[in-house]
Amino acid sequence: MRMFGRKKQQLPERHEHIEANLANSTIYVKDLQKVYPSPKGDVTAMKDVNVNVLENEFVCIVGPSGCGKSTLLRMIAGLDEATEGQIVIHDRDIMGPGADRGMVFQSYTLFPWMTVAENIKFGLKIKNMPPQEQDIIADKYLKIIKLEKFRDSYPKELSGGMKQRVAIARALANSPEVLLMDEPFSALDPQTRADMQLLMRQIWQEEKPTVIFVTHDIEEAVFLSSKIYVLTSRPGTVKKAVPVLLPGERDLSLKDTEQFIKLRKEVNLLIEHESL
Amino acid sequence: MIKIKIRKAVKKKKYIFLAAMAFLAVFLIWWAVSGTGAVKEIFLPKPSSVLQYYVGAIQDGSLWENTRISVIRITLGFLIAVVLGIPVGILAGTFKKIEAVIRPLCEFIRYMPVPAFVPLIMVWVGIGESAKVTVIFIGTFFQLVLMVADDAMAVPDDLINAGYTLGADTKKAVFRIMIPAMLPRLMETLRMMIGWAWTYLVSAELVAANTGLGYTILKSQRFLKTDAIFGGILLIGLLGLITDRIFAFLNKKLFPWVEGGK
């Protein structure tokens, strides 16, 4: 069963921000549209959304609230259905959720009856991976998120930031083709949030996962990503894809550099025009 | 400055002390009122008369026998309701189509008063033990299904979605995520339901019973033996409290991982 019909057969006009080398792309979103039925008639929440995410790319999606950035991510995850359009991951049309697209949610979603290690191993267990291999992978990611000491703790013993670190480890341990992150740090305090951004950037430097990260925090987007998609307000569509030409190795002092501030202002301006 | 704060914490010792004092106060009022002779013994027996009733009933073995048979009836009726109600409730809380079939029907039936079913049950299953078990079953089953469905629905969507994005199919999402996630709430539901089962006991023993605690109360009413009525009611209350505490204890021991658990 096809989930999304391809109704528009004519070639779409080339969006300048979509790189021509689609062969390289991990996720390819084409002419996506989302319409909600309502008593007053259909509401178009999103239309003509085109996104292209390359292998090992860290892409952030920002936009005014209500622009559908989280919905877009959930559609890529297969948790939400598009009304029209196409989402392709490595040449396959996506049909519902799957282990190839790991996700970290805004809310805390660790399984509370499992220890930290058991949470990280959940996806591997589902795949029937031999227990020894599961342990090796769990240990590797416990080290990456610096929570070795909490291996056998239950989620209730962890702080919010620690929970999200485990959620990231749990998704990555499953070696997904793309890691989807839906405002994962928005419930954290500013200090923890900055620490998490730094850790996330380090993880990306070392592991080079393909990431799509939704946030409403522009500074966060600029700091983390290699490319930012700015969405317009409802009906949400891609306003601009902004390449983030900053050094690969990043630390928090980057946020004070002229280059960074300039980029942040540029993205800010794009969104401000939308909120008016 | 606010001196009395809403939900301000209280030390456990103090809490237990206050609870004990409340019991004691009620007992003292009872003792005082009945002791003055202002109220006739037939309306309010003396604590000593109730005690005397207990002594007599223990000596002739009727207290133990009646308690035993009542406990068996409750256990059976409740167990059947649980064994059938939990799977049905989980299905209704998991799949909307099944919910559509089950929920409105259960909502309708649960508003029917259980005692009204008694004559019907006598026609259907006779007047034996099965009739009493059926009354308790009917009283608890429909309510249980609805509450279990709510417990299943209370599992956060994103917990299940996290499972999906980690490679779980729907079957695994139900068995490895939904059911383990809802277990603590489910135990709370069972705890509440067993309390209700005790209240249906008296209705159950309206069915041509000649044993049981409910029957003792009804029989005593005919002979205006208020001391025995008091004795029966107090004993049911006590047994209810004990089962409730057992469930509360189990919940704490079985699910130490629950967030915000005391």
- Write out the two tokens for B208: 């041509």
Cβ separation A102–B259 shorter than 8 A:
no
Residues of B in contact with A154 (CB under 8 A): 256-257
Return the pLDDT at A255: 85
Closest residue in B to A178 (Cα) is B165
Q: Indicate the burial class of B237 (C-beta count within 10 angstroms; 0-12, 13-18, 19 or more).
A: exposed
CB atoms within 10 A of CB A39: 4
Return the pLDDT at A276: 57
Return the pLDDT at A15: 43
Residues of A in contact with B170 (CB under 8 A): none
Q: Name the amino acid, one letter, at B103.
A: R
CB atoms within 10 A of CB A88: 16
Distance (Å, whole) CA B158 – CA B155: 9
Pairing of strands A227-231, A238-243: antiparallel
CB-based contacts of B190-195 (< 8 A; 24+ apart in sequence):
B190/B82, B190/B247, B191/B244, B191/B247, B191/B248, B191/B251, B192/B147, B193/B78, B193/B81, B193/B82, B193/B140, B193/B143, B193/B144, B193/B147, B194/B74, B194/B78, B194/B240, B194/B243, B194/B244, B194/B247, B195/B240, B195/B243, B195/B244
Q: Does A113 touch chain B (CB under 8 A)?
A: yes
Cβ separation A102–B165 shorter than 8 A:
yes
Cβ separation B168–A126 shorter than 8 A:
yes
Cβ separation B166–A122 shorter than 8 A:
yes
Q: Which of B37, B203, B21, B232 is nearest to B122 (CA)?
A: B203
Residues of B in contact with A156 (CB under 8 A): 257-261
Distance (Å, whole) CA B174 – CA B152: 10
Return the pLDDT at B261: 47
Q: Which residue stretches of chain B have pLDDT < 70?
A: 260-262
- Write out the two tokens for B235: 């004993």
CATH superfamily of B49-254: MetI-like (1.10.3720.10)
Return the pLDDT at B125: 87
Q: Which of A196, A187, A129 is nearest to A169 (CA)?
A: A196
Residues of A in contact with B176 (CB under 8 A): 126
CA diameter of chain B: 74
Q: Does A77 touch chain B (CB under 8 A)?
A: yes
Gap from A137 CA to chain B (nearest CA, Å): 15
Residue B55 sits at the vertex; the CA angle it makes with B53 and B59, to the nearest 5 degrees, is 115
Q: Does A120 touch chain B (CB under 8 A)?
A: no
Q: Are A31 and A12 in contact (CB under 8 A)?
A: yes
Cβ separation B158–A109 shorter than 8 A:
yes
Residues of A in contact with B166 (CB under 8 A): 99, 102, 122-123, 126, 170-171, 174
Q: Are B144 and B189 in contact (CB under 8 A)?
A: yes
Q: Are A196 and A161 in contact (CB under 8 A)?
A: yes
pLDDT in tens, chain A (276 residues): 444 444 444 444 444 444 445 567 888 888 888 888 888 888 888 888 888 999 899 999 998 887 888 999 999 999 998 888 888 888 888 888 989 999 999 999 999 999 999 999 999 999 999 999 999 999 999 999 999 999 999 999 999 999 999 999 999 999 999 999 999 999 999 999 999 999 999 999 988 999 999 999 999 999 999 999 998 888 888 888 888 888 878 888 888 888 889 898 888 888 887 665
Return the pLDDT at A13: 43
Cβ separation A122–B163 shorter than 8 A:
yes
**B138 Cβ partners below 8 Å, 6+ apart?**
B114, B117, B121
Domain ranges of chain B: 49-254
Closest residue in A to B173 (Cα) is A126
CA atoms within 13 A on the CB side of B187: 18
Q: Which of A243, A147, A254 is nearest to A198 (CA)?
A: A254
Return the pLDDT at B163: 95
Q: Does B170 touch chain A (CB under 8 A)?
A: no
Return the pLDDT at A242: 84
How would you classify residue A38: left for phi > 0, otherwise alpha for psi between -120 and 50, otherwise beta?
A: beta
Residues of B in contact with A77 (CB under 8 A): 161, 165
Q: Does B186 touch chain A (CB under 8 A)?
A: no
Distance (Å, whole) CA B218 – CA B211: 11
Residues of B in contact with A102 (CB under 8 A): 165-166
Q: Are A46 and A84 in contact (CB under 8 A)?
A: no
Sign of CA dihedral A47, A48, A54, A60: negative
Cβ separation B156–A107 shorter than 8 A:
yes
Query: Which of A96, A98, A109 lies nearest to residue B162, judging by beta carbons?
Result: A109
ipTM, 2 dp:
0.87
CA distances from B31 to B38, B44, B170 (A): 12, 10, 61
Tell me how far the alpha carbon of residue A151 is from its chain's centroid: 26
Return the pLDDT at A269: 87
How would you classify residue B256: left for phi > 0, otherwise alpha for psi between -120 and 50, otherwise beta?
A: alpha
Closest residue in A to B160 (Cα) is A109
Distance (Å, whole) CA A46 – CA A38: 15
Q: Which of A85, A56, A55 is nearest to A68 (CA)?
A: A85
Q: Does A101 touch chain B (CB under 8 A)?
A: yes
CA distances from B184 to B141, B162, B254 (A): 19, 20, 8
Residue B163 sits at the vertex; the CA angle it makes with B161 and B168, to the nearest 5 degrees, is 120
Size of interface A-B (CB pairs under 8 A): 74
The 8-class DSSP code of residue B37 comes to T
Q: Does A97 touch chain B (CB under 8 A)?
A: yes
